[in-house]
A and B are shown apart, each in its own frame.
Chain A
């Protein structure tokens, strides 16, 4: 039970972070991305839309995972 809660909490936190990252990718050009972001490139005004889509979809997947984990125990996505 404790593991379930930790997993759910982790999924929600990671999902939220990923969606924030997605928004950053969509709004900021490559030159303005933080240096540790994949795709950061000094002087480039290119927007990494695809990186944002990837981060957004994985973020949504994390939320779906948390949604299933907190559902009724009779059915589990890992079954």
Chain B
């Protein structure tokens, strides 16, 4: 079978643009990449090895964009981790070190769950019907997080200092583990982490910032682990489309993260909750009827 027949360049552009936005908006990129081809009648399936290879490239592009967007923060955070290792402890006044270790603690459960469950969950829930149902539930989850959230106290501290002071080790573990929900098509990684951030008392802006910082290593590592597939036989005939898709994903990911960091200064998760609930429900009904 020729891979180019499975993913055309126009499809690669659409899927790349969609991936960049939906990976960072709390609306489930995996869910959209399962539902959209089915709605448009494209012969692309989630478990198709060529499509998985294509997704590796778009995810890697998204992770690189996230890293570049927060590059100054990552330099500070990595220096903080280095200081704490040198001093064999985390100075309570060193917010960069605390934030760095919070990200490590949050990444471990998500990484382990992802490594162990990714393939089986993908195979189990890869159908558009499941993805539509879980997209609806993602809307309920986002709205629930808004209803149950703790009010963030007013503070003049810098963003990272505020996050480091608000989030405990237990909170970071739970918020990080919540990322594993994104292994199920329809549930959003950033939605789960932003919702978790709100529940532990972060503001919308800080929850988004923490979610994006937490997402960078996990998305990047998942893509790098699968990168050999792009250069192996599975990448034959799809590398050009993957490159185009990755460039499109990088463009929309950059715009999405810029937009969201401003959006969450004043706005909430409710619009995304409504979108996921309505779109998920409509797709569920459509797939049931066809």
Contact with A75, one of B89, B104, B112, B115 (Cβ below 8 angstroms): B89
Across-interface contacts of B90 in A (CB, < 8 A): 68, 75-77, 79
Q: 1/0 per residue A47-79: CB within 8 Å of B?
A: 000110110011001001001101110111111
CA distance A54 to B111 in the complex (A): 7
Interface size on A, residues (CB 8 A): 20
With A50-B225, A78-B169 known as contacts, the answer to whether A72 contacts B112 (CB < 8 A) is no
Across-interface contacts of B89 in A (CB, < 8 A): 68, 71-72, 74-77
With A53-B225, A54-B115, A77-B101 known as contacts, the answer to whether A61 contacts B108 (CB < 8 A) is yes
Q: Which secondary structure dominates where chain B touches chain A?
A: helix
CA distance A75 to B235 in the complex (A): 49
The residues in B between 211 and 245 inclusive whose CB is less than 8 angstroms from any CB of A are 225
Name the distance in Å between A24's Cβ and chain B's nearest Cβ.
16
Name the distance in Å between A54's Cβ and chain B's nearest Cβ.
5
CA distance A54 to B104 in the complex (A): 13
Across-interface contacts of A64 in B (CB, < 8 A): 85
27 contacts between A and B (CB under 8 A): A50-B116, A50-B225, A53-B115, A54-B111, A54-B112, A57-B108, A57-B111, A57-B112, A58-B112, A64-B85, A67-B85, A67-B88, A68-B88, A68-B89, A68-B90, A70-B88, A72-B89, A74-B89, A75-B84, A75-B87, A75-B89, A75-B90, A76-B89, A77-B84, A77-B89, A77-B169, A79-B92
Hey, which bits of chain A sit against chain B, CB under 8 A?
Answer: 38, 50-51, 53-54, 57-58, 61, 64, 67-68, 70-72, 74-79
> Which 9 pairs across A and B sit closest by C-beta, in order of nearness?
A71-B88, A75-B89, A50-B115, A71-B89, A54-B115, A54-B112, A75-B91, A75-B90, A77-B90
